[in-house]
Amino acid sequence: MATSWGAAFFVLVASCVCSTVFHRDQQTWFEGVFLSSMCPVNVSASTLYGIMFDAGSTGTRIHVYTFVQKIPGQLPFLEGEIFDYVKPGLSAFVDQPKQGAESVQELLEVAKDSIPRSHWKRTPVVLKATAGLRLLPEEKAQALLFEVKEIFKKSPFLVPDDSVSIMDGSYEGILAWVTVNFLTGQLHSHSQETVGTLDLGGASTQITFLPQFEKTLEQTPRDYLTSFEMFNSTYKLYTHSYLGFGLKAARLATLGALETEGIDGHTFRSACLPRWLEAEWIFGGVKYQYGGNQEAGAVGFEPCYAEVLRVVQGKLHQPDEVQRSSFYAFSYYYDRAVDTDMIDYEKGGVLKVEDFERKAREVCDNLENFTSGSPFLCMDLSYITALLKDGFGFAGSTILQLTKKVNNIETGWALGATFHLLQSLGISH
């Protein structure tokens, strides 16, 4: 891990923060965007913008960050974020790369509307793809990225040479940890008191924390540790990305579909699904037929948990220290907690690991009462429970802070990556 950008990133200070989230299913999504929600109000030469695309397995997201260079020669201040997304993700267009690139073009219009025309040519645009494209065959992933790059070249924005790429999974975890601990103020005091981060995407999952015990460092595989410096302090992070252990990839593994790649006419069945269910699901450009287990007594939490346990048991490293650490959890951890009313959609909340197990039991043992939600709800909650307890080794009493935003800024790796982008191009000086 290079250390140059690490030190630079943390000088960034959030001043006035504004954030606008749009939803593409609203035909009038653009109304009112550039009134009081525009930040900053007075655009000048000292205002900088950065456009970061997060191309995930389930959707493509755009983050348009506004920075202000308040003092010449010093790093800029974060002024605000505009966020939007489209579904499905690029990987769904595995055999239609031009169509996939068109979804990116749609989001580029948000950036054009958000950034003054006078700043277009000096505003860099970058897309970083994550696990969804990592799982695709190399030639198909590159075909998608090529078409996106062509879209970028036609845009009025600054297009760096490496503007479109697949990001290594370990950097997702590192940058998410950086963002959360920066926004929560944990890094401003030069101390080693930080929070860990748990990110659960569709195709991969990441765990990152700062070990406090020498024993953890001694017992951890070397490629799970990354050292870097910031604020004149050296941090050695435990971080790892598990490809194939995201929520949707885990569904396929639980169903046994990973080995057969969606054989035509074959229905994958699970005790985690309602007995009456017969449906189809498309993930990664492949169509799967799936349904409930029609044998008597073969549904509910216990048989479901036995299925998901096979996906994670013995396959993830378990550092003992996680049982005594504080963690922020987001992405699908957050979404499934919201779906089952365990936390508030806007405010998030605090849960224990055992709360996921309790809710999984409630849902799985009463499947007929949850037919209005996702048919995968029982499977997803059971998998999250197994991932936390039997995968990572968390105690049931471990407390998790479920959050989508910190100080009104989206959690995840995009903020740190954008600031690093501005620094590497020399735009922020």
Residues classed as catalytic: 172
Contacts of 351 (CB under 8 A, 6+ apart): 337, 342, 343, 399, 400, 402
Residue 284 · residue 202 · CB < 8 Å: no
Residue 241 is labelled as binding a ligand: no
Q: Which pairs from 285-293 meet CB under 8 Å and 24+ separation?
A: 285/91, 285/92, 285/93, 285/94, 285/95, 286/261, 286/262, 287/262, 288/252, 288/255, 288/257, 288/262, 289/262, 289/265, 290/255, 290/257, 291/267, 293/269
Residue 396 · residue 27 · CB < 8 Å: no
Nearest to 336 by CA among 247, 234, 226, 239: 247
Nearest to 201 by CA among 262, 141, 252, 250: 250
Residue 55 CA to residue 412 CA, distance in Å, equals 13
Ramachandran area for residue 331 (φ above 0: left; ψ -120 to 50: alpha; else beta)? left
Residue 382 CA to residue 160 CA, distance in Å, equals 43
Phi, psi of 51 (to 5 degrees): -115, 120
Q: Compute the chain's Rg from CA coordinates.
A: 22
Residue 202 is labelled as binding a ligand: yes
Residue 212 is labelled as binding a ligand: no
Residue 84 · residue 112 · CB < 8 Å: no
- How many beta carbons lie within 10 A of that of residue 98, not counting itself? 13
> Hey, what amino acid is at 256?
G
Strands 409-410 and 405-406, bridge-based pairing: antiparallel
Phi, psi of 230 (to 5 degrees): -165, 150
Residue 204 is labelled as binding a ligand: yes
Q: Which residues are annotated as a binding site for ATP?
A: 202-206
Q: Which residues are annotated as a binding site?
A: 202-206
